[in-house]
Amino acid sequence: MKEREWSSPHGARLASAAVGLSLDVDEDGLAVIEFDQPAAQHNQLSPEIIERFLELIQLVHSRADEGQVRGLVVTSGKQNSFIAGVDVSVIAGVRGVTAARAGARQGQLALQALAELPVPTVAAINGTCVGGATELVLACDYRVAADNPAVLIGLPEVQLGIIPGFGGTQRLPRLISLERALPMILTGKSVNAAKARRIGLVDAVVPPPLLPREAARLAGQAKQRGSMMAPEDRRLVRRVRRWLMERNPIGRRLIYRQAAAQVAKSTGGHYPAPVKALEAVKRGLAMKLGDGLRLEADLVADVVVSSESRNLVGIFFMRQAARRARPDDDDASASASVRRLVVLGAGVMGGGIAQLAAYRGLSVRVKDIAIEPLAAAMKIAHRRFSALVRKRRVNAAEMRRAMGRISTTLDYSGLRRADLIIEAVVENLAVKHEVLAAAEAAAGSETVLATNTSSLTVASMATALRDPSRFVGLHFFNPVHRMPLVEIVRGPESSDEAVDTARRFATAIGKVPIVVGDAPGFFVNRVLTPYINEALLMLGEGAKVVEIDRAIEAFGMPMGPLRLLDEIGLDVAAKVTAQLAGVFGDDMPTSGAAATLVEAGRLGRKGGEGFYTYAGKGRPVPHSGTEALVRGEGASPPPATIVDRCVLGMLNGSAKALEEGIVPSPQAADLALVLGTGFAPFRGGVFRYAEERGAEAIRDRMAELADTYGPRFAPAAALGQRRFYPDSWPEKLETL
């Protein structure tokens, strides 16, 4: 990278920007360290960058001792981005506890050198600031953030199965209090600039153009030490409560006990990182800072090499790869393809798609045949935007602008300028044919058409179109605003350009796209159906609802298959099962339990009762009347058998889909199931689970199940291989 000239003619450049770091000192003695890594969208930390940063800090220290530096500002040259933490490929490349500990200590020592500078230090935060970047700004005396939606500050390490390792577990609680720090550390959730100001994480929030000036002003003040109290915490009641809770042993024990209970509830005992993070905070705050940092390095080393972390890091890489159609593709280009969207059908799904697209800045037109559904769709959008306002993700003015991007119509006007049209009408082939043909006639010659069907094939709908090459499937999962996966369905005649437009659109609205083949149920529903059906078969054999669901939850699923059925809707599940029955043939006996319950008026959660009863806000309880209707007279199998029948059935279905080309790779299958069904993320997906359990052991167990329960468990040919992942996994993938 060519070295840039320092803007002040009286200043001096003390270090080159060739490695993405520069140090300049102006005529008044203000030093500025700027992160600006060449040819990168975001700055990231690596061992080389950290080493270089330490060298610059040492240089600042020596100049400060000579009286040539009066203060230091750490900033970024990237637009809307400060530093995006440690490069995850560095974490993936760690081999062994010793190397992990050494990496943590390297970062700690560099940031401790920053904290020990004899002059005031200020972090000027202009955008994304997570992980190691947050730990860096915590080592500064002051932090000032731009009033910019791009500013997010947090410690998301637990989401990768690790813990903050550059001092985050030690400095954050000392700065903003245990009560505020523990949720950030244990859940990995980030805060925006306004909340960071309220909790005392930053000292000021200013308009972006004023960020350099405010940082320079703070650098001219005396050094400050972290306080337990945020600036707004002046009320005596709050100060006394926090003192009582955090400055005495009994109060601290209560806080730690509550945190431990919450961790146990949220992780189910499957994720070691939050447990280690809590240990680092609890033990570290009872020590001097230096001893707490060494403890943190020891604990982070333990989790970095765990299988849970390796699998979570692997999912991170797979998500990145899924967002790229080509090795040279990036997220920035994804938002440029679709600017004008039309949604045909103003139901719950159509309204959800419209709201999400408008939130992401797209112009959206919603079409239906009556005023009432259009009004309902606008209410859905308004309700979800209002929730974002309450969470302070957007303000009232931004909500009004986003709602203004949604228009409605009763006819097909306005379709000619659309980049993408998504059909989301009822699951009726004749209706879809009529709507798609009319939309194609009204659309422009380059407009891509898509269907949000969940059970019909793209090929069956494409017969209504003159040009099926511009037609693809875009299968969203409900609720649209929460579920991260979108299946991009390539029909027999879908062009590469149409598929790529759909993929880019999904990426632009924040979803993770997986391109799958055109088959009944596509991939996720095709695999999920036998998983749920197996639970229903066991229920018919005599297993109890609570025993089935408890065994699957203990395996690591967020909820059991019968509770999941209630969430999906028993009427929806019965319909999909009937539509997909022919896919599985005679090998898989189909349970009629869902249809029986629908006939009895039990539709699941939306109707108040299904396999469970839903009253108030408490945890749902098994419905005794439901069991009486559909449960057999036998005994429940052991939990291990329940798990194997459900999970290995899902694995076998995935392997068959892989053989048939419905899903392109084991990695794509695993990511789709983690994001689309909630398959235990710490296990990495069904193929990763099979690999860790042992391919031969899996095949032997499936042969046993086939002998006992039928040919549906006979191992698919694709399960004959020993490995489904590279030996060096996790690793960066160019594409999925």
Residues 494-507 have pLDDT tens digits of 999 999 999 999 99
pLDDT above 50: residue 332? no
Q: Any alpha helices (H) in 591-636, and if so which ranges?
A: 593-599, 624-630
Does one domain contain both 505 and 531?
no
Does one domain contain both 541 and 501?
no
Does one domain contain both 242 and 265?
yes
Return the pLDDT at 229: 42
Confidence of residue 2 (pLDDT cuts 50, 70, 90): very low
Please indicate, yes or no, if residue 318 is contained in any of the structural domains. no
Please indicate, yes or no, if residue 4 is contained in any of the structural domains. no
Does one domain contain both 148 and 234?
yes
Q: Look-up: residue for tokens 């983690």?
A: 674
Return the pLDDT at 583: 73
Does one domain contain both 534 and 505?
no
- Mean pLDDT across the chain: 90
Of residues 675 and 231, the one with the higher pLDDT is 675
pLDDT above 60: residue 600? yes
Return the pLDDT at 612: 94
Return the pLDDT at 146: 96
Packing angle between helix 524-541 and helix 545-555, nearest 10 degrees?
140
Please indicate, yes or no, if residue 568 is contained in any of the structural domains. yes
Q: Quote the CA–CA distance of 138 and 258 in Å, as a whole number.
A: 26
Q: DSSP letter string over 7-68?
A: S-TT-EEEE-STTSEEEEE-TTSEEEEEE--TT-SS--B-HHHHHHHHHHHHHHHHHHHTT-
> The pTM is what?
0.89
Return the pLDDT at 653: 94
Range of the domain at 434: 337-517
Of residues 311 and 233, the one with the higher pLDDT is 311
Q: Quote the CA–CA distance of 666 and 398 in Å, as a whole number.
A: 41
Among 136-145, 234-243, 387-396, 417-426, the range scoring the smallest mean pLDDT is 234-243
Does one domain contain both 475 and 580?
no
Task: For residue 56, give the CATH number of its domain.
Answer: 3.90.226.10
pLDDT above 80: residue 369? yes
Residues 469-492 have pLDDT tens digits of 999 999 999 889 899 999 999 999
For 34, residues 6+ apart whose C-beta sits below 8 A from its C-beta are 17, 21, 22, 24, 75, 76, 77
Does one domain contain both 536 and 504?
no
Return the pLDDT at 242: 62
Of residues 326 and 420, the one with the higher pLDDT is 420
Please indicate, yes or no, if residue 128 is contained in any of the structural domains. yes
Does one domain contain both 274 and 190?
yes
Task: For residue 510, give the CATH number of its domain.
Answer: 3.40.50.720
Residues 146-175 have pLDDT tens digits of 999 899 999 999 999 999 999 999 999 999
Contact present, 37 and 29 (Cβ < 8 Å): no
Confidence of residue 467 (pLDDT cuts 50, 70, 90): very high
Please indicate, yes or no, if residue 578 is contained in any of the structural domains. yes
Backbone φ, ψ for residue 448 (5° rounding): -95, 135
Please indicate, yes or no, if residue 44 is contained in any of the structural domains. yes
Give how many domains the chain has, as a whole number: 3
Among 40-44, 330-334, 518-522, 713-717, the range scoring the smallest mean pLDDT is 330-334
Does one domain contain both 433 and 544?
no
Task: For residue 615, give the CATH number of its domain.
Answer: 1.10.1040.50
Return the pLDDT at 11: 54
Return the pLDDT at 241: 59
Please indicate, yes or no, if residue 327 is contained in any of the structural domains. no
Contact present, 200 and 233 (Cβ < 8 Å): yes
Which residue, 517, 551, 568, sits at the end of a domain?
Answer: 517
Residue of 42, 61, 433, 475 marked active site: 475
Residues 261-279 have pLDDT tens digits of 999 999 988 999 999 999 9
Does one domain contain both 538 and 409?
no
Return the pLDDT at 642: 97
pLDDT above 50: residue 336? no
**For residues 287-304, average pLDDT:** 96
Radius of gyration of the chain (CA): 28
Return the pLDDT at 248: 78
Which residue, 517, 540, 559, sits at the end of a domain?
Answer: 517
What percent of the chain clears pLDDT 70, i.e. is strictly above it?
Answer: 93
pLDDT above 50: residue 333? no
For 480, residues 6+ apart whose C-beta sits below 8 A from its C-beta are 349, 352, 353, 355, 356
475 is catalytic: yes
Return the pLDDT at 46: 94
For 331, residues 6+ apart whose C-beta sits below 8 A from its C-beta are 41, 323, 507
Does one domain contain both 461 and 531?
no
Which residue, 305, 328, 354, sits at the end of a domain?
Answer: 305
Quote the tokens at residue 145: 């953030």
Please indicate, yes or no, if residue 93 is contained in any of the structural domains. yes
Residues 172-195 have pLDDT tens digits of 999 999 989 999 999 999 999 999
Does one domain contain both 233 and 374?
no
